[in-house]
A and B are shown apart, each in its own frame.
Chain A
Amino acid sequence: MTHPSLQLDNTVHQRVRLGILSVLAEADEADFAYLRNALGLTDGNLSRNLAVLEQAGLVRIDKRFEGRKPRTWVSPTKEGRRAFAAEIQALRDLLARVDAVEP
């Protein structure tokens, strides 16, 4: 059996990116400002991490105009939902393994 650490995906595992996927696991879409406020990030930090997730095919980013104002919406892809669920399971497995070893 492989160690649960090896099941962790570096792209998803990073704290900010896991936070983004946590929000998107519950909501089907969230806008840039909501994610920034919910995760307490700067615009630049959120942009960088969203770009990583988009490049990995884990989120979709849509720019829509509401009136004259552009608004960026982020939604999870099927792969993103799967990766998030796998990451959570891997973290739980890791903790269960520790609990089993420790008296």
Chain B
Amino acid sequence: MKALRIDDEMRPAEAASLLEQAEHRRERAQADLDAFWFPLVLFGSLSMVAAGLSLAVGLDSLGLFWLVAGPGGGALTARHYIRRGRRLGVGRVGWPYVAVSAALMIGAFLTGGLGTGLVQELGPVSCVACCYLGFAWIERSVAVACVALGMGGVIAALALLQPPATVELALLGTGALMLTSGLFVRYRSEAA
């Protein structure tokens, strides 16, 4: 490492200015990278459709629905991120998103398929909430972390109350939360 010589010793004001600029540039890059509204809106809508489907056709339809909608929604989200990255000229590597998405799908199918009682009813949405914390970490996004915690709150309330149609209410509650948060993030960033 080529260090500064002692006679080059920098002034505190210069150090503060450099730190401030570095922080400002990081924040700007983060704002340009912020594209999470799309999967929030997409998967929020899909969750609400799933709740309706479960009420109309039955709980058994959910496995098949998510087997198609999960990877399909993931592919659409990947396309959105890649196209946006190419248009703006800035992006993040994809493998962390793929790893968290795979963990989400496996966890949701295992708890929904093999679990019993509350684990079967609320396990899949709990996996989604946990994996959204993972997405929040990848995106360094407080907004996504808040959505994940909000989903956790909905799940905890349903686990305590155990109302009839718990699965549908979980899908409806978390879906509505994701959809409204996604739309809010989208219009807030557009306004900024």
CB neighbours (8 Å) of A98 from chain B are 12
1/0 per residue, CB under 8 A from B, across A3-43: the answer is: 10111111101010011001101111111111000110000
Instruction: Give the interface centre of A15, A25, A94 by most chain B CB atoms within 10 Å.
Output: A94
Choose among A9, A34, A95 the residue that contacts B2 (Cβ–Cβ < 8 A): A9
Count of B residues near A, CB < 8 Å? 31
Bound Cα distance A26, B88 (Å): 15
Contact size range, A: 20 to 34
The reply to whether B4 and A10 form a contact with Cβ atoms under 8 Å apart is yes
Is residue B55 contacting chain A, with contact meaning CB distance below 8 A? Answer: no
A residues at B contact (CB < 8 Å): 3, 5-11, 13, 15, 18-19, 22-23, 25-34, 38-39, 66, 88, 91-92, 94-95, 98
B residues at A contact (CB < 8 Å): 1-4, 6, 8-10, 12, 15-16, 18-19, 21-23, 25-26, 28-30, 32-33, 86, 88-93, 140
Question: Contacts A26-B33, A26-B140, A29-B92 given; 13 further ones with Cβ under 8 A?
Answer: A5-B9, A6-B3, A7-B3, A13-B4, A19-B22, A22-B29, A27-B91, A31-B89, A31-B90, A34-B32, A88-B22, A95-B12, A98-B12
